[in-house]
Amino acid sequence: MSGRNALLPGNANRGVTACPYIEESVGSLHDDSFGDIWASSTVFRQLRAPKLSGKCGECEFQVMCGGCRARPLASHGDLFGEDELCDYTPQGGTVIQPLAVNEARPLVWDQDATSRLEKLPFFLQKMIRNKVEETARNQHLNRVSLAFMDQLRDKRFGHGMPAFPFRKKMGSNL
Ligand code: SF4
């Protein structure tokens, strides 16, 4: 939904709009900072906690989707009206909330743990980093050490690590 988590564009006159498809400006960068406009604009505040009407207001996906806001504004002047092009028929269930993103505690990786990760094939690194960090957070750890990675490896594979074609070639200890 526009204005909640999108990067908001400024038009040629430095007017800020909630969406490239909405013409009405909610403030001007000539007069205010973007941060001030973002915080104080009535439209942006409403978009951050929208009260949708029509079928969007009855839809269990209204928080995750929210529909296009430019379309109902253009067709009948209601920024929070239903998105008429949506084919979905709301089922009347509980509104589904997005999964919370665990961004409260950034994790610190020890240098040797980082080096171990970087020796893995590139295409595996992101997946393994996410898995290691998820496990560390679940254990209320603040940092990822080599010993912690050893623990996870042993838990996953036991002490007899399966042969991994990249290990020797890339000098990995994994
Ligand atoms: S009715 Fe369609 S556009 Fe509206 S919130 Fe539900 S899925 Fe999104």
pLDDT in tens, 118-157: 988 888 888 899 999 989 988 888 899 999 999 998 887 7
Is residue 74 predicted with pLDDT exceeding 90? yes
Cβ neighbours of residue 16 closer than 8 Å, sequence gap 6 or more? 8, 9, 10, 25, 26, 27, 28, 29, 34, 37, 41
pLDDT grade, residue 91 (50/70/90)?
very high
> Which atom of ligand 1 is nearest to 82's Cα?
4
Minimal-distance CA residue to ligand 1 atom 2: 86
With the most atoms of ligand 1 within 8 angstroms of its CB, the residue from 2, 47, 53, 62 to mutate is 62
pLDDT at 173: 45
**Ligand 1 residue neighbourhood (C-beta within 6 Å):** 55-56, 59, 61-62, 65-67, 83, 86, 88, 90
Q: Which of 64, 68, 83 to mutate to test the pocket of ligand 1 (most atoms within 8 A of CB)?
A: 83
Q: Are 83 and 72 in contact (CB under 8 A)?
A: yes
- Looking at the DSSP assignment, which residues form a beta bridge with residue 10? 16
Mean predicted lDDT score pLDDT of the chain = 83
C-alpha 29/C-alpha 26 separation (Å) is: 10
